[in-house]
Amino acid sequence: MLRRLRGNDGPAGRASSATGIPVTVSARHVHVTRGVLDALFGERHELAKLRDLGQPGEFACEECVTLVGPSTRAIEGVRLLGPVRTYTQAEISRTDGVRLGIDPPVRKSGDVAGTAPVTIVGPCGAVVLREGALRATRHIHMTGRDAEVHGVRDGDLVRVRFPGPKALTFKNVLIRVAKSAALELHLDTDDANAADVRLPMSVDILR
Protein backbone atom coordinates (compact mmCIF):
# COMPACT_ATOMS: atom_id res chain seq x y z
CA MET A 1 0.00 0.00 0.00
CA LEU A 2 1.33 3.41 -0.99
CA ARG A 3 1.44 5.90 1.82
CA ARG A 4 1.11 9.55 0.82
CA LEU A 5 4.23 11.62 1.48
CA ARG A 6 2.73 14.68 3.11
CA GLY A 7 4.50 18.01 3.06
CA ASN A 8 3.61 19.43 6.47
CA ASP A 9 3.59 16.69 9.04
CA GLY A 10 7.27 16.14 9.81
CA PRO A 11 8.68 12.60 9.84
CA ALA A 12 6.07 10.02 8.96
CA GLY A 13 5.95 6.29 8.36
CA ARG A 14 8.09 3.56 9.87
CA ALA A 15 8.41 -0.15 9.18
CA SER A 16 10.09 -2.97 11.04
CA SER A 17 12.13 -5.88 9.74
CA ALA A 18 14.02 -8.74 11.26
CA THR A 19 17.21 -7.78 9.42
CA GLY A 20 16.48 -4.58 7.50
CA ILE A 21 16.49 -0.93 8.49
CA PRO A 22 13.04 0.72 8.70
CA VAL A 23 12.59 3.67 6.35
CA THR A 24 11.12 6.98 7.48
CA VAL A 25 10.21 9.88 5.21
CA SER A 26 10.89 13.20 6.89
CA ALA A 27 8.74 15.99 5.46
CA ARG A 28 9.55 19.67 5.98
CA HIS A 29 9.57 20.72 9.64
CA VAL A 30 11.08 23.19 12.09
CA HIS A 31 13.04 22.85 15.35
CA VAL A 32 13.02 25.90 17.63
CA THR A 33 14.75 27.26 20.70
CA ARG A 34 12.85 28.48 23.75
CA GLY A 35 13.34 32.10 22.71
CA VAL A 36 12.12 31.56 19.16
CA LEU A 37 9.10 29.62 20.40
CA ASP A 38 8.20 32.55 22.68
CA ALA A 39 8.53 35.00 19.79
CA LEU A 40 6.32 32.92 17.51
CA PHE A 41 3.63 31.73 19.93
CA GLY A 42 3.86 33.97 22.99
CA GLU A 43 5.93 33.99 26.15
CA ARG A 44 6.09 30.68 28.07
CA HIS A 45 4.10 28.87 25.39
CA GLU A 46 4.36 25.07 25.75
CA LEU A 47 4.41 22.77 22.74
CA ALA A 48 1.31 20.61 22.36
CA LYS A 49 2.10 17.02 21.36
CA LEU A 50 0.28 15.71 18.31
CA ARG A 51 1.97 12.31 18.17
CA ASP A 52 5.20 10.61 19.12
CA LEU A 53 7.90 10.08 16.51
CA GLY A 54 10.17 7.10 16.03
CA GLN A 55 13.11 8.53 17.96
CA PRO A 56 12.62 8.34 21.74
CA GLY A 57 11.46 11.62 23.28
CA GLU A 58 10.74 13.33 19.96
CA PHE A 59 7.25 14.33 18.86
CA ALA A 60 5.27 16.18 16.20
CA CYS A 61 3.48 19.23 17.57
CA GLU A 62 0.07 20.75 17.02
CA GLU A 63 1.80 24.05 16.27
CA CYS A 64 2.54 24.99 12.67
CA VAL A 65 4.32 27.99 11.18
CA THR A 66 4.83 29.67 7.81
CA LEU A 67 8.24 29.80 6.12
CA VAL A 68 9.01 32.84 3.97
CA GLY A 69 12.03 33.18 1.69
CA PRO A 70 13.76 36.25 0.23
CA SER A 71 11.48 35.93 -2.79
CA THR A 72 8.52 36.57 -0.41
CA ARG A 73 7.09 33.23 -1.49
CA ALA A 74 5.77 31.25 1.45
CA ILE A 75 5.11 27.68 2.57
CA GLU A 76 2.32 27.47 5.11
CA GLY A 77 1.46 24.77 7.62
CA VAL A 78 5.03 23.68 8.44
CA ARG A 79 4.94 21.64 11.61
CA LEU A 80 7.11 22.19 14.66
CA LEU A 81 8.83 19.18 16.20
CA GLY A 82 9.54 18.88 19.90
CA PRO A 83 11.09 19.05 22.31
CA VAL A 84 12.58 22.55 22.31
CA ARG A 85 16.17 22.51 21.00
CA THR A 86 19.33 24.53 21.59
CA TYR A 87 19.20 25.68 17.96
CA THR A 88 16.56 26.76 15.45
CA GLN A 89 16.49 25.21 12.00
CA ALA A 90 14.05 24.60 9.16
CA GLU A 91 14.59 21.20 7.54
CA ILE A 92 13.27 21.40 4.00
CA SER A 93 13.76 19.70 0.63
CA ARG A 94 15.47 21.06 -2.47
CA THR A 95 12.02 21.50 -4.01
CA ASP A 96 10.96 23.59 -1.01
CA GLY A 97 14.09 25.69 -1.43
CA VAL A 98 13.24 26.46 -5.04
CA ARG A 99 9.78 27.58 -3.97
CA LEU A 100 11.22 29.83 -1.27
CA GLY A 101 13.98 31.19 -3.51
CA ILE A 102 16.84 29.84 -1.39
CA ASP A 103 19.54 27.20 -1.82
CA PRO A 104 19.66 25.20 1.43
CA PRO A 105 22.87 23.18 1.82
CA VAL A 106 22.98 19.54 2.90
CA ARG A 107 23.92 19.39 6.57
CA LYS A 108 23.72 17.25 9.68
CA SER A 109 20.97 18.40 12.01
CA GLY A 110 22.20 21.22 14.25
CA ASP A 111 24.99 22.33 11.89
CA VAL A 112 23.34 25.60 10.90
CA ALA A 113 26.41 27.82 10.38
CA GLY A 114 26.38 29.16 6.84
CA THR A 115 22.98 27.68 5.94
CA ALA A 116 20.28 29.55 4.03
CA PRO A 117 18.26 32.48 5.39
CA VAL A 118 14.56 32.08 6.10
CA THR A 119 11.81 33.87 8.00
CA ILE A 120 9.55 31.89 10.34
CA VAL A 121 6.11 33.35 10.97
CA GLY A 122 3.86 32.31 13.85
CA PRO A 123 0.57 33.64 15.25
CA CYS A 124 2.32 36.06 17.65
CA GLY A 125 5.28 37.23 15.62
CA ALA A 126 8.03 36.45 13.14
CA VAL A 127 11.70 35.54 13.46
CA VAL A 128 14.15 36.39 10.68
CA LEU A 129 17.02 33.88 10.53
CA ARG A 130 20.18 34.85 8.67
CA GLU A 131 20.94 31.14 8.63
CA GLY A 132 18.91 28.09 9.58
CA ALA A 133 17.33 26.54 6.48
CA LEU A 134 18.98 23.27 5.40
CA ARG A 135 18.48 19.93 3.74
CA ALA A 136 19.14 17.17 6.25
CA THR A 137 21.78 14.71 5.13
CA ARG A 138 20.48 11.18 4.63
CA HIS A 139 21.11 9.37 7.88
CA ILE A 140 20.46 6.22 9.88
CA HIS A 141 19.75 6.35 13.60
CA MET A 142 20.90 3.30 15.56
CA THR A 143 22.17 2.11 18.92
CA GLY A 144 25.66 0.79 19.59
CA ARG A 145 24.28 -2.74 19.40
CA ASP A 146 22.68 -2.02 16.02
CA ALA A 147 26.03 -0.66 14.82
CA GLU A 148 27.73 -3.92 15.81
CA VAL A 149 25.10 -5.96 13.96
CA HIS A 150 25.47 -3.88 10.79
CA GLY A 151 29.25 -3.55 11.02
CA VAL A 152 29.37 0.26 11.13
CA ARG A 153 30.45 3.05 13.49
CA ASP A 154 29.16 6.50 14.37
CA GLY A 155 30.04 8.97 11.61
CA ASP A 156 30.49 6.34 8.88
CA LEU A 157 29.10 7.07 5.43
CA VAL A 158 27.40 4.08 3.81
CA ARG A 159 25.38 3.13 0.75
CA VAL A 160 21.75 2.02 0.80
CA ARG A 161 19.91 0.54 -2.20
CA PHE A 162 16.18 0.80 -2.90
CA PRO A 163 14.76 -1.93 -5.17
CA GLY A 164 11.91 -1.70 -7.64
CA PRO A 165 11.15 -0.16 -11.06
CA LYS A 166 13.00 3.03 -10.04
CA ALA A 167 15.81 1.22 -8.21
CA LEU A 168 18.26 3.67 -6.74
CA THR A 169 21.39 3.53 -4.61
CA PHE A 170 21.97 6.38 -2.17
CA LYS A 171 25.53 7.17 -1.18
CA ASN A 172 26.81 9.30 1.73
CA VAL A 173 24.22 8.01 4.19
CA LEU A 174 25.44 9.10 7.62
CA ILE A 175 25.47 6.67 10.55
CA ARG A 176 24.32 8.32 13.79
CA VAL A 177 24.81 6.16 16.88
CA ALA A 178 23.15 7.03 20.19
CA LYS A 179 22.34 5.04 23.30
CA SER A 180 18.57 5.57 23.10
CA ALA A 181 18.16 5.66 19.32
CA ALA A 182 15.54 3.70 17.41
CA LEU A 183 16.75 2.04 14.20
CA GLU A 184 15.55 4.21 11.30
CA LEU A 185 16.73 5.53 7.95
CA HIS A 186 15.59 9.14 7.44
CA LEU A 187 15.07 10.53 3.93
CA ASP A 188 13.57 13.83 2.83
CA THR A 189 10.60 13.86 0.45
CA ASP A 190 12.70 14.53 -2.67
CA ASP A 191 14.90 11.49 -2.03
CA ALA A 192 11.89 9.35 -1.15
CA ASN A 193 10.04 10.28 -4.31
CA ALA A 194 13.15 9.75 -6.46
CA ALA A 195 13.46 6.20 -5.10
CA ASP A 196 9.70 5.59 -5.39
CA VAL A 197 9.56 4.80 -1.66
CA ARG A 198 6.42 2.99 -0.60
CA LEU A 199 5.87 2.75 3.12
CA PRO A 200 6.13 0.66 5.14
CA MET A 201 9.41 -0.78 3.93
CA SER A 202 12.93 -1.58 5.10
CA VAL A 203 16.30 -1.67 3.38
CA ASP A 204 19.81 -2.99 3.98
CA ILE A 205 23.21 -1.33 4.00
CA LEU A 206 25.29 -2.34 1.00
CA ARG A 207 28.52 -4.19 1.79
Q: Considering the domain boundaries, does residue 55 fall inside one?
A: yes
Q: Considering the domain boundaries, does residue 4 fall inside one?
A: no
**DSSP H helical ranges for the chain:** 34-41, 94-100, 144-150, 189-194
Q: Considering the domain boundaries, does residue 152 fall inside one?
A: yes
Kindly state whether residues 108 and 180 are assigned to the same domain. no
Q: Which residue, of 99, 115, 135, is where some domain finishes? A: 135
Q: Which residue, of 135, 156, 177, is where some domain finishes? A: 135
Is the pTM of the predicted complex or chain greater than 0.75? yes
Kindly state whether residues 43 and 119 are assigned to the same domain. yes
pLDDT band at 183 (very low <50, low <70, confident <90, very high): very high
Sign of the torsion angle spanned by Cα atoms 198, 134, 100, 40: positive
The CATH number given to whatever domain includes residue 186 is: 2.40.40.20
Kindly state whether residues 98 and 20 are assigned to the same domain. no
Kindly state whether residues 166 and 191 are assigned to the same domain. yes
Q: Flag whether pLDDT at 19 surpasses 70.
A: no
pLDDT digits (tens, 9 = 90+) for 27-62: 999 999 999 999 999 999 999 999 999 999 999 999
Kindly state whether residues 115 and 148 are assigned to the same domain. no
Kindly state whether residues 107 and 44 are assigned to the same domain. yes
pLDDT (0 to 100) of residue 200: 94
Q: Which residue, of 120, 135, 150, is where some domain finishes? A: 135
Q: How far apart are CA 100 and CA 90, in angstroms?
A: 12
Q: Flag whether pLDDT at 166 surpasses 60.
A: yes
pLDDT digits (tens, 9 = 90+) for 128-149: 999 999 999 999 999 999 999 9
Q: Considering the domain boundaries, does residue 179 fall inside one?
A: yes
Residue 176's SS3 state is strand
Q: Considering the domain boundaries, does residue 164 fall inside one?
A: yes
Kindly state whether residues 59 and 40 are assigned to the same domain. yes
Q: Considering the domain boundaries, does residue 3 fall inside one?
A: no
38: domain range?
A: 27-135
Kindly state whether residues 171 and 106 are assigned to the same domain. no
Kindly state whether residues 21 and 110 are assigned to the same domain. no
Q: Considering the domain boundaries, does residue 1 fall inside one?
A: no
Q: How far apart are CA 201 and CA 14, in angstroms?
A: 7
Count how many domains the chain has: 2
Kindly state whether residues 116 and 190 are assigned to the same domain. no
Kindly state whether residues 98 and 142 are assigned to the same domain. no
Residue 97's SS3 state is helix
Q: Considering the domain boundaries, does residue 109 fall inside one?
A: yes
DSSP character for 47?
P
Q: How far apart are CA 126 and CA 49, in angstroms?
A: 22
